[in-house]
Chains A and B, each alone.
Chain A
């Protein structure tokens, strides 16, 4: 057999092996979380806040973190949506295809997307110090919205790029302003994809810990005020795992299972939305 055929075979095996290792790792991660988390998971844990001595192994649960994560996730997703939807509509409908501004904004969205969330956290912290704000639900929400803004805007941009040009032309030919084209025609056409982008960003938001560490801090209370610290699931996992007590660590595994299940559910819903809710879509 010629050497080149041997080389072909060797690389084929290597490539399939690499793909297999990655797929197996994902399965391994999900499996580990499931097997470690499931035995420790119970309903009481999901519906109660930590009581005294929770981190020493006493009674309580992670409801504070679940509600906190949802609050901070919803808040920051709504904020990021309010900013990124107009932004990407502007890029795609108001600006010309070869616009330098559009090019620059897209480039900076890419760059912002790559900045680690701990840096956003530190930046949020400097702003908080400047305006005399304390770590709170509000500060965490604002910071997290900056973290997920580029994630949401970039995937929305991809969705809007797929909207056929003819549709925009048709809308303009009917006498619509660009505002009407953007919000009444294009948004409807791209609705499923936009929704999927929002959900993806939401999932990323509730999974993030580094940005809220400085800005939302942590508390054992349920979220009750915009101006008070709030707990989040990732940090709950982190703190529970950091204790030396096995029973608390096991609750950490259970919390990790809750978070992973939540994110999986969101990402599956996003996928499902991508295919459904196409009533207004013109094909």
Chain B
């Protein structure tokens, strides 16, 4: 066999191995994290781990409930801000904006996605936290002193600050996926709608969005999973020093990823502590993998025209 063909088949084989390795990477990650969190999973019931809010590593109590609640609060706030903001922007860019605006918007969105999470955190600390502390918190707690707004945390380091920062961090992905989805909607549908006298917005509302609904859902799911796993920015602005279950947007929150990042130094010192922290990572892995599979699965079927 000549050298060129040998090289070709060698390359094919090693590349095949490489693709199998990529395929197995997620399973390896699940396995590795599971293996290391076994000690705590064997000792404590899953229900207690996930729902108990008692976190006292020194006493052997590893309830992740408060951290999961913190994640849910911060993610919910981020989504409440990011969904309208990014969907409106994406619709604007794809349906209304001039070509030149679109060309200008793409690098801006890329840039927003490329900034380091820590830099977002810095911005959160110097800009968002003071804004929440000096303006939003006094305003809301004076006028609406009841459930999601009542709080005795006046520092500004709270779930809302984290949510605002996160909302900005996840909007690039929601915008770019939504934009791509909207672009797959056939132009003929818009033309048909416009030609029967619909306004542009009516066309968007009744024709384009109806067609793109599923794809946009996927975009939101992908954004959600991003918000779930974001670590450093959240660690910096949510007030993680106070370990409480939030009951208000102005309460401090301690999301799951921040817990993992914060305990890396001390987790080897107490038995089961490292297992509990890696178990938190496993939870994060499971949730984000599931969401991503759902999101990308939907997009795959959407693009092939099944939905």
Give A contacts to B, CB under 8 Å.
Answer: 4-5, 7-8, 11-12, 14-19, 21-23, 25-26, 28-29, 32-33, 36, 83, 86-87, 89-91, 94, 101, 103-105, 107-123, 125-127, 129-130, 146, 149, 153, 177-180, 182, 200, 203-204, 206-210, 213-214, 234-235, 237-238, 241, 252-253, 256, 259-260, 263-264, 267, 271
Contacts and interface: CB of A to CB of B under 8 A. Distances in A.
Contact of A263 (B114, B222, B281): B114
Given A33-B122, A108-B23, A238-B121, A200 B222 contact: no
Interface string B64-90: 000000000000000000001110110
B26 A112 contact: yes
22 contacts: A7-B201, A7-B202, A14-B88, A18-B84, A18-B86, A19-B97, A19-B105, A22-B175, A33-B123, A86-B11, A107-B297, A112-B26, A115-B292, A122-B33, A123-B281, A126-B36, A237-B122, A238-B121, A238-B236, A259-B118, A263-B114, A263-B116
Given A15-B96, A87-B22, A178 B8 contact: yes
Interface residues of B, number: 86
Interface stretch (B40-48, B135-143, B154-162, B227-235): B227-235
Contacts, number: 256
Contact residues of A: prevailing secondary structure: helix
A214 B268 CA distance: 12
Contacts of A101: 19
B264 to A, nearest CB: 5
B296 interface: yes
Given A114-B225, A117-B231, A210-B257, A8 B199 contact: yes
Interface stretch (B144-152, B185-193, B246-254, B282-290): B282-290
B29 A123 contact: yes
B7 A259 contact: no
Candidate in A16, A119, A214 with the most chain B CB atoms within 10 angstroms: A119
